[in-house]
């Protein structure tokens, strides 16, 4: 089988076969260490050097400074030559980080992107290979491995003969904070399409890969789901449910380490149709953002809602009959009632507008010569009622615009009335509501 990257976030670009030892770890040797290096040269230069048959050196991974891009060059089962200590090589994974610490401004190389990508990789390595997520700053080089505490170490702590790698510029406190506060995305129910103003419940699930419990209450280990970058108001903000316009919620319950947690919240589409991009990320109260950024693309459009005479939002007053014979009906059937002044009645469709705004209302009826020529439609809105009449002897089998009306959120009715000075049959089939406009 052709070799490939072990870590899902890495690109495979192998070192020359003369620069590492083929092995069968952990059967041949146990995994005990992750060793942190800096390249003292460019990212591409390190890759080229490990692919040079004369270099006699390699590392399992190389990470680019600018964006945290990861290349794997030696498989985990095999022994890379990176530590300058044979016993440590046999039991370790080596990670090179692009940086030059001997000239210029060394700190510019140690970017947030590189630290975070490396921490994500190390969380995966320690979980996969059973290496402790611990850094002992007191470890010094030795061929006696019993004196080298298993965990995450700098190159200078294990190299026989001495080195400054990864240098005094490597921020161990920040790095170990990042390593120990991880999260792995699991799944979500964020919709890809919403109607303007529509509100739904959303669930986003993460596995807690940190070494501590995520808590819902206040304190250093409180974890919340937020917009990214920090403080950016979300167009999907729900004032009655979110903590703020940029802080969504805590997990539904405390999430112990290595368990799955759910973040449940309401999500309301903006009023303006269009394509929206929203980025979310977990935030640890004491140390900041952690885990992956999740970016969602959500299309928002006007609603186009049909209410048929068989739906729960349809009702009648009076004795309406059910018909099926008209070929130009909507759906399986329709309702009808003979129009007469002395026998008032109406049929009604409940709009249940998703948000307050102005909507277009259409009606569908089966036409016929026995239909009434003056069917009265009422659009009952939040401030007034719009009234108009239609001739149902024509216009059958299609959507006919009745008018525009402003409906309040969760309200609105369309009513067709049988009370008319004209004789004939009143048809009540379906209505269509489009908007907000």
Which domains are present in the chain? 10-180 (3.40.80.10), 183-301 (2.60.40.10), 304-435 (2.60.120.260)
State pLDDT tens for residues 181-206. Answer: 888 899 999 998 888 888 999 999 99
Longest pairwise C-alpha distance within the chain: 108
Q: Using alpha carbons, select from 405, 437, 411 the residue that is nearest to residue 354.
A: 411
Q: Using alpha carbons, select from 338, 379, 383 the residue that is nearest to residue 362.
A: 379
pLDDT at residue 422, as a whole number: 63
pLDDT-derived band of residue 220, with 50, 70 and 90 as boundaries?
Answer: confident
State pLDDT tens for residues 98-116. Answer: 999 998 899 999 999 999 9
Residues constituting the chain: 437
Can you tell me the distance from the alpha carbon of 118 to that of 427, in angstroms, rounded to the nearest whole number? 69
Task: Tell me if 337 sits within 8 A of 346, measured CB to CB.
Answer: no
Strand partners, 137: none
Can you tell me the distance from the alpha carbon of 221 to that of 176, in angstroms, rounded to the nearest whole number? 15
Q: Please determine, for residue 382, whether its predicted confidence score (pLDDT) is greater than 90.
A: no
Task: Tell me if 411 sits within 8 A of 352, measured CB to CB.
Answer: yes
pLDDT at residue 286, as a whole number: 79
- CA 303, 308, 311, 313 dihedral sign is positive
Tokens, residue 108: 């510019």
Q: Using alpha carbons, select from 252, 250, 270 the residue that is nearest to residue 262.
A: 252
State pLDDT tens for residues 108-162. Answer: 999 999 999 999 999 999 999 999 999 999 999 999 999 999 999 999 999 999 9
- DSSP for 143-187, written as a single string: S-GGGS-SEEEEGGGT-TT---TT-TTS-HHHHHHHHHS-EEEEE
Which residue has better confidence, 286 or 65? 65
The predicted model scores a pTM of 0.59
Can you tell me the distance from the alpha carbon of 32 to that of 30, in angstroms, rounded to the nearest whole number? 6
Placement of tokens 């089988």 in the chain? 1
């Amino acid at each position: 089988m052709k070799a490939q990257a072990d870590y899902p976030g890495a690109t495979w670009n192998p070192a020359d076969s003369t620069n590492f030892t083929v092995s069968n770890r952990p059967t041949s040797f146990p995994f005990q260490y992750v060793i942190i290096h800096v390249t003292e040269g460019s990212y591409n230069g390190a890759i080229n050097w490990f692919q040079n048959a004369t270099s006699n050196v390699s590392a399992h991974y190389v990470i680019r400074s600018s964006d945290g891009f990861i290349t794997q060059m030696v498989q985990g089962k095999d022994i890379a030559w990176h530590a300058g200590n044979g016993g440590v090589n046999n039991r370790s994974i080596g990670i090179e980080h692009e940086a030059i610490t001997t000239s210029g401004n060394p700190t510019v190389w140690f970017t947030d992107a590189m630290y975070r990508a490396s921490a994500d990789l190390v969380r995966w390595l320690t979980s996969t290979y059973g290496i402790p997520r611990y850094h002992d700053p007191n470890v010094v080089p030795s061929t006696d491995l019993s004196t080298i505490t298993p965990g995450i170490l700098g190159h200078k702590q294990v190299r026989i003969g001495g080195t400054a790698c990864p240098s005094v510029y490597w921020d161990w406190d920040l790095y170990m904070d990042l390593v120990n506060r991880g999260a792995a995305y699991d799944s979500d129910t964020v919709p890809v399409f919403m109607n303007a103003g529509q509100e739904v419940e959303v669930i986003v699930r993460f596995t807690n890969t940190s070494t501590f419990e995520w808590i819902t209450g206040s304190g250093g280990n409180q974890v919340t789901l937020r917009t990214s970058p920090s403080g950016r108001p979300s167009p999907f903000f729900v004032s009655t449910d979110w903590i703020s316009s940029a802080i969504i919620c805590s997990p539904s319950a405390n999430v112990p380490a290595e368990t799955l947690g759910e973040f449940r919240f309401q999500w309301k589409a903006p009023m303006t149709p269009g394509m929206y991009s929203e980025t979310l990320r977990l935030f640890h109260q004491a140390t900041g953002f952690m885990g992956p950024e999740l970016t969602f693309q959500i299309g928002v459009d006007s609603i186009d809602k049909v209410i048929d005479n068989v739906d729960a939002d349809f009702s009648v007053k009076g004795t309406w009959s059910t018909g099926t014979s008209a070929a130009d009906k909507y759906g399986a059937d329709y309702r009808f009632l003979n129009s007469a002044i002395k026998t008032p009645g109406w049929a009604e469709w409940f709009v249940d507008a998703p948000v307050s705004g102005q909507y277009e209302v259409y009606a569908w009826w089966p036409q016929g010569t026995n239909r009434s020529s003056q069917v009265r439609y009422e659009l009952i809105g939040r401030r007034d009622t719009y009234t108009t009449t239609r001739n149902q002897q024509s216009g059958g089998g299609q959507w006919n615009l009745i008018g525009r009306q402003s409906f309040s959120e969760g309200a609105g009715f369309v009513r067709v009335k049988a009370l008319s000075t004209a004789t004939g049959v009143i048809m009540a089939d379906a209505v269509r509501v489009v908007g907000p406009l």
